Structure 1
Amino acid sequence: MAEESRKIIHVDMDAFYASVEQLDNPELKGKPLAVGGGGARGVVAAASYEARKFGVHSAMSGQLARKKCPELIFVSPRFNRYREISHSIREIFFEYTDLVEPLSLDEAYLDVSQNKTGMPSATLLAREIRQRILKTTGLTASAGISVNKFLAKIASDVNKPNGQKTIPPEEVHDFLMQLEVRKFFGVGKVTAEKMYRLGIFTGADLHSKDEDFLTTHFGNSGAHYYKVVRGIHNSPVQPSRIPKSIGAERTFRENLSSEIFMLEKLEGIAEELEKRLGSKDRAGKTITLKIKYSDFQLQTRSHTGGHFVSKKAEILAIARELLYQQPLRESVRLLGISLSNLNTEQDSSAPAAEDVSVQLRFDF
């Protein structure tokens, strides 16, 4: 294995959208707040920490959120304002390193192995960055510091809000052994439940399984789990992240129960997707139809062709086939179309990057 000393910081703003609203309107400070819609069709986009104490969280329906917290205050999102503050935060990041990989408006990875300040300690650097963000924006941020992106992201959640956690190389193994498997990168709800049935609950349980066992039960993902529980995650910080998919979707004011009405909506979605693809000069081979039912259950149907598509007519034709592929379970509240296997992705025949061992020692 090649050895490479990396110091990665994951910065995550604390309840970003809700915190911006409380910052701009002091009357909302200390109160349970949700950004989004509280009506019959509303969805929570973000919740303040005061609201989270009642079990309110993002992607929850506005009606359910109100049941959990009758005193909940809803405000409409102001994405232009969020982008404005996000831009100011990224300007701070670039004062320390050019290796900044934004994940969204409120979080990013920074590779500070060779930073512009010459500061050897990534821990001290993260603290300084958080102080700069607070002074510049009035908002708090949390940070995780470690030898790769996977560990840094997990660490940033340990001491939230307004805190940070460092996992130095010599502590990686012990940290991973105690970690719940559902917190490992790539382990979703379904996979976690399967691991539980196999007696895998912690990193130590996962570490005890050999690669053949994991591959047998989890396919290609098995090799990933075998490496990641050993602290091997060599994905570099990518300043210009290439999107793996581009999509468009719509939530409807009233549920749709007829495919005829859905086709009308899909035409508009396909048109919007064509515009987004054109603005980025992108095309894709895989088209995925996203269907969210009135009970919030989500279903996806995909088709991969032999050539790249980007025009509305082709996208809509395939989306129509996917819609009629099988009967709908019930009425539909959201439809979406996305393209993946884009023409920007690397040739799969290119040699893979070498794995990086994290059993290194340097100043954190």
Structure 2
Amino acid sequence: MKFNYSLPNTLNFLLPKFLREDYSPYKCNVSANRENYNLQGRRIHLQNMIKTWINTGKNPFIKPVECKNCLFDTRIPNIYIGSDGLCNMCMTYKKNFKLEVLQSELETFINTPREPGANLDAVVAFSGGKDSAAALYWAKKKLNLEVVAVLVQNGFIPEQVINNGRKLCDKLGVELVVLNIELAPFVKEMMDQNFTNGYPCYKCGEMFHKEIQKYCGKNGINRVILGRNWWRWIEPEVRSVRWVKDEASGLNMQFFSLPFALQLTEKDVFKILDDIDWKTVKIHGNSTNCVIPGLVEYSIYQRLGYHPELNLLSREVIAGFLNKEEAKAQLADIKDNTEILRKMVNNKLQEIKSNQSE
């Protein structure tokens, strides 16, 4: 997919670089949810809209131009649409995806030996939601790995979800370990800034990974299984694993997106859960374990003009986990839970303060 222009090839150098070259969204250095939408971010967004207009002949300044494959469109700062109708994320994925790479990573993960003295093969980062539940089942019953399920409680995962997850772990013969983090102070800070300085789920993901890594380091476990349904890396080739060097323990750890490596679809996940007669807890928002996405969606939608989970759902569509229509349906029901969010965060902060004073 290249920029179509009328200048002779010898004069290509006269065109701005952003028109001459294709690039992935990750090279734009501006987030999909506009947390860093500064002057540079606005310039990148403008360039991508101009590039889309020239590539497609459609004016994104009048109406957003949407990718023909996924949900990404020109409202997202790091996205442009090519002349074939595909966005630059789809373009990058298509160019760099090789199934044999994922198969090789799966084989490496399975055959990686335990660390000396370790009693387990891997940690399953278990959220209590559908995707990590399917990953836990597959790791234990299909791959025959000895695993522990580690759930990181951020303060916004209902006890019903944890109890429901414990039932699954008991059924599979897997220990459930619950770790705790305090997300509420960060949510309060973001809420006070109308989420222009961050998105709670991204911060939670960062804290979650650190806790899992710390747990693995203390217990000598070098593999982590995630329920993630899209890539860990998309450049220079699509990969399902991220290697992490834990400085405290010296371990080289694999954080492995098992459903993506297996190329499971959402229908596959639901079939797995149906087969073992396990259902997730009903929660509003694009989550089956945490209430935060459903509590912040309205405020962020009002600021952006699109759902904050559009970025995640688009990646799942690109990876083939679900189709575009299914993704749109999941983002269609937006509720104003601002007051519930405010009360819940204030209550959590009071609990933290009370616990610190004891």
TM over 0.5: no
Q: TM-score with structure 2 length normalisation?
A: 0.24
Higher helix share: 2
Q: TM-score with structure 1 length normalisation?
A: 0.24
